[in-house]
Amino acid sequence: MAKSLIFVATGFEDVEMLTVVDMLRRAGIEIDMVSITGELEVTSSHSVVIKADKLFENADIDSADMLILPGGLLGTKNLLAYKPLTDKLIEFNNSGKFLAAVCAAPSILGALGILEGKNATCYPGFEEKLTGAKYQKKPVIRDGNIITSRGMGTCIDFSGEIITALDSAKKAEEIKAKIIYNDTY
């Protein structure tokens, strides 16, 4: 079974984090919410307190198949400032393992040089922070081992692309149909 980790810091965007967790768990993909704050309880950008599954220092990061970054302006700044996480992001990229980021969080990948020569997207206004990337105004972009998405409104498609990468497009479509993503199902 594929394993993924989504990282939470004070100020994370609620829907961007919880949609990914919900859809991956529905798909049978293991996903842990990992706090970088030193506390399991973490407050979102809209003052929603969640309880993470693990603290960063207790998470088995190396066995994960994908690392996922939710957005939120403050959350993104906090994730970028946490060197143990940024070191792992670079390590995963260098190993060709999957990285996914939504909203403002693709700017973290840009700041780390991970997007060099890659097609990527992000929340409007953050395009210049995608250092080295070829920006495209699309809901979700997968370029090799990197998945980026624009924001809260694109999170079902973002989660679907993560499911596709870790399982299959068929599984992603099954989950979208079960949540009645649109009326074509």
Can 155 be counted among the known catalytic residues?
Answer: no
Q: What domain count does the chain have? A: 1
Q: Is residue 172 included in any domain, yes or no? A: yes
Residues spanned by the domain of 99:
3-178
Does residue 106 sit in helix, strand or coil? Answer: helix
Q: What tokens does 121 get? A: 């997207």
Q: Is residue 108 included in any domain, yes or no? A: yes
* Amino acid 1: pLDDT: 83
Of 101, 115, 117, 88, nearest to 161 by C-alpha is: 101
What pTM, to 2 d.p., does this model score?
A: 0.97
Q: Walk along the chain (185 residues) and give the pLDDT tens digit of each residue.
A: 899 999 999 999 999 999 999 999 999 999 999 999 999 999 999 999 999 999 999 999 999 999 999 999 999 999 999 999 999 999 999 999 999 999 999 999 999 999 999 999 999 999 999 999 999 999 999 999 999 999 999 999 999 999 999 999 999 999 999 998 766 54
* Amino acid 185: pLDDT: 45
* Amino acid 183: pLDDT: 62
- Residue of 8, 9, 102, 103 marked catalytic: 103
Q: Is residue 76 included in any domain, yes or no? A: yes
Measured between alpha carbons, how far is 80 from 63 in angstroms, rounded to an integer? 22
CB 8 within 8 A of CB 75: yes
Q: Is residue 183 included in any domain, yes or no? A: no
Q: Is residue 11 included in any domain, yes or no? A: yes
Q: Is residue 61 included in any domain, yes or no? A: yes
Write the CATH number for 169: 3.40.50.880
Q: Is residue 125 included in any domain, yes or no? A: yes
Q: Is residue 184 included in any domain, yes or no? A: no
* Amino acid 184: pLDDT: 57
Q: What tokens does 139 get? A: 């809901």
